[in-house]
Structure 1
């Protein structure tokens, strides 16, 4: 990994925004050319799913897409994003979850039915005995389509809900929680969000198709959420990418890693030692 990536390190303002609100929006993380190349591969996968019988009016949820194309693998340690991820979570991290979502127009009339509000990580939210619940992981969402207007299948969030609301009041069938807003962004934008932030998908009432790539980073002792098949990429990957794809010499190395298990720590010790102390 080239040390030039340190120019994209998490700033104090970004840290403060993420810590206080639970999310961070960074525009122009992907160039127009990068968006076009990724969109081409997403479209190819989506078209294949349609041929296999996927309902064209329903969203396509496609996990474990990293092995599908090198462009997806290249985002795992993307220089403009990874430094911000380790700036938030530290160096003992990996990609525990990923999914691609394509949300076509649903052809229905717009309504205000309650969305599927949730925090990520399922049972973790019931079985961790603390308040606020621990962060443990975050997601980075790369938006490939223009959702700068509401009604386009936007990702909805309740800002600041990650720290104060172990539960939120969700209307019974009609309306959304107090403070809920749509995330409205242009193609090429990356949205970072804390797993504890209350969020929901919304219907696509527009005439465009929404396309997003989600990369979930967590601590190496967190189990994968998908049936990941990325181990086939380990041999051809750089040491740091291999760590991010879940490599480890044995089970205990995810709890008490050596330098060989976490080359990201070794790299930071050399190039940014203040980030490798803990």
Structure 2
């Protein structure tokens, strides 16, 4: 009698295999910050989605008086049509999102983007500050935390490109390869110049998807083609970025809170949790992502604390240097020796 060989128990410390990604795709995602998936959408699927976008396009322009040549977005797109809703768990892409983020995720945003040809475009520097679409990375007001000089891995976006973007200056997104591994503050440094070798213009055929880190610097090329650029974006982030032992505090408790206490308990100035950008219902944004004035009273509190700290530092500095009360400076003090509070 042959005794079957006993298989070794799985190593609990061995990484789980990927649902959909290859090793090379995962490496590219980690190093470059994005991967492209050609033919993620079939031609028939692309046609259906373009039909949906055209339907929404007509409704949006009529209801908002949007000019035919004006670019626009529709936010919370998944609520506008079943075809858009279905993409939140699209079988070809969701496994890839799970591969890079894990399973404890949620939809943070979904939007339709339409950008018609720019007939009056004046040639300018790609992604220039003050231009029609400058270099940036996606973040809420007040920004993401910075850890060891970079933005931690908090979000993935999936772009579905429905129109032909294979030509230069067809409105395609541009990304800076590997920029998610650098300081986001460099974007705003006028002396910093992006290496042209790192800029990737995402010139792709209809049906291509891009899975990318939203900390990646990106901008758009002008659309100088003969057709509107149409695409969809779905952003996924982590469900745990919320309180751990409550969902909403008792109304009676909130009623007796100071504004700062209300903020620390996750409450806005009113129970309305949405702000409409430019007053437009087509552009809703969570007030936790785009807070209204007064939603973050801790900002004024922190500014007040900093003023008190600087005043204490200045008083200590004057005592050490034996300056009379109320003195602003002294001719015997070397320039640059005064505390930073006065800068």
Q: What's the TM-score bracket when you normalise by the shorter of the two chains? A: 0.7 to 0.9
Q: Give yes or no for contact 2:18–2:99 (8 Å, CA) kept in 1.
A: no
Q: Distance in 2 between matches of 1:168 and 1:162?
A: 11
Q: Distance in 2 between matches of 1:212 and 1:221?
A: 29
Q: Give yes or no for contact 2:29–2:35 (8 Å, CA) kept in 1.
A: yes
Q: RCO higher in 1 or 2 (8 Å CA, sep ≥ 6)? A: 1
Q: Distance in 2 between matches of 1:224 and 1:39?
A: 29
Aligned positions, number: 219
Q: Do residues 141 (structure 1) and 159 (structure 2) align?
A: yes
Q: Distance in 2 between matches of 1:14 and 1:127?
A: 27
Q: Give yes or no for contact 2:140–2:289 (8 Å, CA) kept in 1.
A: no
Q: Partner of 1:50 in structure 2?
A: 61
CA offsets 1:11-44 (integer angstroms, 9 cap, x no match): 2111101000001000000000000001100001
Q: Partner of 1:165 in structure 2?
A: 183
Alignment of 1:4-83 (within 5 A): 9-52=20-63, 53-83=65-95
Q: Distance in 2 between matches of 1:78 and 1:207?
A: 30
Q: Distance in 1 between matches of 2:189 and 2:168?
A: 20
Q: Give yes or no for contact 2:35–2:210 (8 Å, CA) kept in 1.
A: yes
Q: Distance in 2 between matches of 1:104 and 1:196?
A: 26
TM-score by length of 1: 0.72
Specify which of 167, 180, 183 is matched with residue 199 of structure 2.
Answer: 180
Q: Distance in 2 between matches of 1:89 and 1:183?
A: 23
Q: Partner of 1:132 in structure 2?
A: 150
Q: Distance in 2 between matches of 1:37 and 1:86?
A: 26
Q: Do residues 214 (structure 1) and 233 (structure 2) align?
A: yes
Larger radius of gyration: 2
Give 1:9 deviation, angstroms.
1.3
Q: Partner of 1:259 in structure 2?
A: none
TM-score by length of 2: 0.59
Alignment of 1:50-129 (within 5 A): 50-52=61-63, 53-109=65-121, 111-115=123-127, 116-123=134-141, 125=143, 127-129=145-147
